[in-house]
Structure 1
Amino acid sequence: MPNQITHNGSKTTPRPHDLLWITGVEGLATDQLLPTWATAEWLAVAPVVIRRETVTDCAWLPVGLRGTTRSERFKALLSVDAIKRCVQPEFLVQTEAWNIHSQCGAFPAVKTLASMASSLTNIGLHWGPTGSVGFALATGLPVLRDESDLDIVLHAPSPISPEKMSLLQDLLDSQMCRIDLQIDTGSGGFAFAEWAAGRKTILLKTGNGPVLTADPWSESHQLDTHRLP
């Protein structure tokens, strides 16, 4: 995703799962009307999330709008000029956001996050919560349920060593909450569970669509994958 935004006085390249607060609905472009829940009042406090999609026009970013329930999701494009603030998942770990928004601490997914945070950080890879947990910890908005999963993104620009793979698997196996750990290679994302299961090919989500690959870190997926419809 080549598009850049100015954040804290410097240029940064937004990544999938980053949360963006926007100036208003006028900064969004869609091919249909916004859903009724996506009001100007809601979007004044609720960030949009970067989606994994390639957009050729550097003035726009692919984003997803989310409401208070799982069914309230909507795709759009966002003008980079409409961005007020950017929060990356790693920032929620650095600030221990689960202690800031204490009202979230009663939910099993947040309890799990707090209990495993130090161990996951000690593995030595950048990571952070995404999905409903990340959204709630970044905003304090009431989007969590007792049955909410814990979604985590872990950034690994190079292959993960067998030792770290084993540590990750042991850590996930020791948790009571369902955890969806996504590995982001910088050019795509895949489910850790698929890789750990030893499958010959795994589904890699890229900005140009999903591919099946034997090596998610390969520079050219043309050699060892076939693109899905």
Structure 2
Amino acid sequence: MQVCAAPPFAADHALSCDARWRPHDLLRLHCLPQFDGEPAWVRDAFERAPYAVVRRALAAEGFVAIGLRGMERAQRYGTWVHVDDIETATPPDALARRNPLAERNALPAFVGLAELQRDTSGALSGFVWGPTGSAGFELATQVPTVTAASDLDLLIRTPQKLSRDTALQLLNPLQALAQRVGIRVDAQLETPAGGVALAEWAAGKARVMARHARGPQLIADPWAPAHGDA
């Protein structure tokens, strides 16, 4: 099964990313173009929730790289849309204080998120952060997406360098939360070099994986000036 459409522009025109939309932003779309070879579930998924997530990939001017999600974990599809097809954009941090529908509150991912929302003086209090993944998608769309086994995925914006000690102070309470609610809490730092797993940076590794629109790369310092915007 194809996991990504062919770009609707010449490959040598994919030179940049439109700064108006950042990775993990949820886009509500007016329409979704038909893609050659797209998976059968794509049309049903878009009819159910006309949203896509901004993904890390280069695009030609006037386009943005997006990812579509179906009901099953394996149903993910990458493509591009024209910026004129975008109706609204919701970043993860705009979802940090949103609540799910009342009947969904008891799902572990939302229990964990509620605990973070209540902890106004906790480790995350000094950061701009928000939910991504299935929790973020459901909060943005109000379409049931989270299951009892869903991870709680978080994005933490760190434009300034984060010390390893501070990263560990962030990681420890998140790991404790994961144990309490019985799911995995996966936090990603948004750095100038791209997305870096909080757990990797806190572990003190000599190099960490930074996920960037130009591709993943192992680097020593995700805040080094030589790296471009994610």
TM-score interval for Structure 1 and Structure 2 normalised by the shorter chain: 0.7 to 0.9
CA-CA distance at 1:136 after TM superposition: 1.0
2:188 equivalent to 1:167: no
Change (3 A) 1:3 1:44: farther
Instruction: For 1:81, give the aligned amino acid.
Output: D
CA-CA distance at 1:34 after TM superposition: 2.6
CA-CA distance at 1:38 after TM superposition: 1.6
> Which residue number corresponds to residue 146 of structure 2?
144
Instruction: For 2:63, give the aligned amino acid.
Output: W
TM score, norm. by length of structure 2: 0.82
How many aligned residue pairs are there? 206
Instruction: For 2:184, give the aligned amino acid.
Output: R
Change (3 A) 1:75 1:162: closer
CA contact (8 A) 1:165 1:196 kept: yes
Identity of aligned residues (%): 33
Equivalent-residue separation in structure 2 for 1:166 and 1:41 (angstroms): 38
CA-CA distance at 1:106 after TM superposition: 1.5
Change (3 A) 1:156 1:140: same
Q: Which runs of 4+ in 1 moved over 6 A?
A: none
Q: How does 1:1-229 map to 2 (within 5 A)?
A: 2-4=17-19, 13-26=20-33, 30=35, 32-39=36-43, 42-43=46-47, 45-55=49-59, 57-93=60-96, 96-98=97-99, 100-117=100-117, 118=120, 119-122=122-125, 124-161=126-163, 164-175=166-177, 176=179, 177-220=183-226
TM score, norm. by length of structure 1: 0.82
CA contact (8 A) 1:129 1:151 kept: yes
What secondary structure does 1:111 align onto?
helix
Q: Unaligned 5+ residue runs, structure 2?
A: 1-15
CA contact (8 A) 2:208 2:220 kept: yes
More relative contact order in 1 or in 2 (CA 8 Å, sep 6+)?
A: 2
The structure where strand makes up a greater share of residues is 1
What secondary structure does 1:220 align onto?
coil
CA contact (8 A) 2:45 2:70 kept: no
CA-CA distance at 1:162 after TM superposition: 5.0
Q: Unaligned 5+ residue runs, structure 1?
A: 5-12, 223-229
